[in-house]
């Protein structure tokens, strides 16, 4: 039984999603990506996370079609990239994403990174798409407390979700508190501490931490399963990426154990404020050099 998120309007979707960033390689979009996503769908994933910048929206759409499962059974997330922000630019970016996905609508559309100078225009474009029924829910990614407060000062449609880098070495407690205050669900990208694409040695990731390994041993599960359970038990959404059959399945198999309050606290205390990915305070200049592929 998968953990579910239930929104105020009755929308339901799995709290555990399948991350597609850099399957195989960065911006890879081919049969290998399609086959990997199909494996995830066959294992039971219905919440699929992509983005225009990932360059694999076509593969996501192909895999969902090839699965033979109705589109309505899926919760599909995509994102508007920094170079695409602004009112008209966002509308054009959405149209391109929808065409690549080969779908009639996207379940959740996110602003990938904050750009305060364009946030209002970008959000108004998202609200237009929402009013047209082309997007079912609106959300954020990497938004800081100041970005959230700015957006809420003019938003007519509130974001349901803020996707952050969050793992035992970067717990982002203050930002989570702001999200909770505004009924915004926290979703975790790189929940296990970064993928193989990052070049970070495994022994430097939270999945190799002695505290996490000790808890995993007590429950007879993997360190990755412990971290994902730590997220879900605290009401967060997690978006792990996996490519092997073993890891794809293991990330879903979280029902056989429950973490105690002491174990949850012990993992919380591993925080080092350590980022593996970009920092919203400094990411903008570099992000603007990264292009969405056709």
Q: What domains can be seen in the chain, in order of their start residue?
A: 4-201+234-245+274-287 (3.20.20.100)
Catalytic entry in 54, 161, 185, 276: 54
Q: Kind of pairing, strands 161-165 and 185-189?
A: parallel
As a whole number of angstroms, the distance between CA 167 and CA 169 comes to 5
112 annotated ligand binder:
yes
- Taking only the tens place, the pLDDT of each residue in 52-93 is 999 999 999 999 999 999 999 999 999 999 999 999 999 999
As a whole number of angstroms, the distance between CA 148 and CA 141 comes to 10
Please indicate whether residue 32 is annotated as part of the active site.
Answer: no
pTM: 0.95
pLDDT, average across residues 199-206: 84
Residues 2-39: b if buried by 16+ CB within 10 A, e if exposed: ebebeeeeeeebbbbbbbbbbbbeebbbeeebbbbbbb
- Taking only the tens place, the pLDDT of each residue in 107-129 is 999 999 999 999 999 999 999 99
């Amino acid at each position: 039984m998968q953990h579910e998120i239930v929104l105020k309007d009755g929308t339901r979707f799995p709290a555990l999603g399948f991350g597609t960033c850099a399957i195989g390689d960065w911006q890879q979009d081919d049969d290998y990506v399609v086959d990997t996503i199909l494996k995830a769908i066959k294992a039971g994933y219905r919440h699929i996370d992509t983005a225009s910048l990932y360059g694999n929206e076509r593969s996501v759409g192909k895999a969902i079609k090839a699965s033979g499962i109705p589109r309505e059974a899926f919760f599909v997330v995509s994102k508007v990239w920094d170079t695409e922000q602004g009112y008209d630019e966002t509308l054009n970016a959405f149209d391109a994403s929808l065409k690549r996905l080969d779908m009639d609508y996207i379940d959740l559309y996110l602003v990938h990174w904050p750009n305060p100078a364009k946030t209002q225009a970008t959000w108004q474009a998202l609200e237009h798409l929402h009013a047209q029924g082309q997007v079912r829910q609106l959300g954020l990614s990497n938004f800081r407390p100041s970005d959230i407060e700015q957006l809420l000062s003019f938003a007519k449609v509130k974001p349901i979700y803020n996707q952050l880098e969050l793992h035992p070495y970067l717990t982002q407690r203050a930002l989570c508190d702001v999200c909770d205050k505004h009924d915004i669900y926290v979703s975790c990208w790189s929940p296990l501490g970064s993928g193989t694409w990052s070049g970070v040695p495994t022994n430097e990731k939270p999945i190799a931490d002695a505290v996490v390994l000790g808890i995993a041993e007590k429950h007879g599960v993997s360190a990755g399963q412990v971290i994902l359970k730590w997220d879900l038990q605290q009401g967060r959404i997690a978006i792990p990426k996996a490519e092997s059959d073993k890891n794809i399945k293991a990330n879903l198999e979280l029902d056989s154990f429950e973490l105690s309050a002491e174990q949850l606290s012990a993992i919380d205390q591993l925080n080092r404020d350590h980022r593996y990915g970009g920092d919203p305070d400094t990411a903008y200049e570099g992000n603007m050099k990264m292009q969405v592929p056709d």
